[in-house]
Amino acid sequence: MDPTHHQEDPVPWEVPRQDPLFRQVSHIYSWIVPRLGSPYEHQNVMKVSEAFSNAWAGWRAPERRWLAEHLVAQFGVAITLKEPEEYEWSQLLYKPLATKAGSLPAEGGAWPLIRAPERRRLRAVEDCVAAIARDFPDARVAREWGGAFFAHERMTVNKLQRTSAAEWECLLRQLEALPEKLPALVDFLAAHDEPLSKALPTADALFLQAYDASHLADTRLERFRALLGGIDNVYAFAVEKGLKPNKAAVARLAIHCASTSGPDQARAFAAEPLQVQVSAVDLARDILFDAFAYIHGGKCLLEPDRVVRCAQPSLRTSPL
């Protein structure tokens, strides 16, 4: 990793409500409940958020991100329906979502027994973490990082069992390469008066980076387009409900969202660095979530013309 392009790790958290992704999931469920047709459905859906809270630590970071993206997209579908009964709310219960995300095995199945290969994966991670901590220039920071890396189920055999072979190769490669990169990272952080702990990745960050590095740009573009479609829909919905977004700007937004389906956009997206692609998808999810937050709690919708810039082919030169 080039020190000048060092990225912040996902927010370290000890309880789910500290995780921004969990907060998005929790808010979406709180918005769903008033739309349900019966007290029975209210009770069932309210329990789902609690189920996610109880299991959150055991989910891998890519699974949590998938859930937040999926729920924000599904909520966009649900709010445009005239009657709550038109939406199949049972698909938002814990078990079907956890199965889709990959944190639970397929229906009727079970995770295979933990065997030697999975244990070897964890041992390899432990060895890498120990080597990194041993050579890190600040012993206190290294000790705290080494303990936190495995705490709160952040890195477990079961999580590694659910990690594909391609992701595992990326994850291990990142850890093995870190000692060589640490001196430059540490010098960069020290020169900019930043905490040296930023040079050391969290387990969540490694899982995310490994997932992203082992998937093609096409999969990120598909997610990006789906979220942009949701943004287009929610702004159109806001106009319909008289929530004051500029109609002409919303029309321009619709045109630009539609333009992302072209081959030129696909080539431009694929040409961007991996982290720019990942950030574009995350930003689109956050914009869509914030739009819902406005509709349900008085938060201002981002101006449509600013959202348009998210859909430009050159993402690097078109910041929001």
5-28 pLDDT tens trace: 333 456 667 788 889 999 999 999
168-225 pLDDT tens trace: 999 999 999 999 999 999 999 999 999 999 999 999 999 999 999 999 999 999 998 8
Cβ-Cβ contacts under 8 Å for 249 (sequence gap 6 or more)? 303, 304, 305, 308
**Cα–Cα distance, 249 to 231 (Å, whole number):** 13
Helices (H), 137-164: 139-150, 157-161
CB atoms within 10 A of CB 202: 20
DSSP string, 17-64: GGSHHHHHHHHHHHHHGGG-SSHHHHHHHHHHHHHHHHHGGGS-HHHH
Task: Enumerate long-range contacts of 47-50, CB under 8 Å, 24 or more apart.
Answer: 47/94, 48/92, 48/93, 48/94, 49/25
Mean pLDDT calculated for residue range 58-64: 95
The angle subtended at Cα 226 by Cα 233 and Cα 288, nearest 5°, is 55
**CA atoms lying within 13 Å on the CB side of residue 238:** 30
Give yes or no for residue 315 having a pLDDT over 60.
no
44-56 pLDDT tens trace: 777 888 899 999 9
**Cα–Cα distance, 20 to 279 (Å, whole number):** 15
250 pLDDT band, cuts 50/70/90, is confident
Question: Is the CB of residue 288 less than 8 Å from the CB of residue 72?
Answer: yes
288-304 pLDDT tens trace: 898 888 877 766 676 77
CA dihedral of residues 147, 131, 278, 301 (deg, nearest 10): 30
Question: E strand or H helix at 205, and its extent?
Answer: helix 203-213
CB atoms within 10 A of CB 147: 11
The whole-model pTM stands at 0.87
Mean pLDDT calculated for residue range 237-244: 72
**Cα–Cα distance, 297 to 288 (Å, whole number):** 14
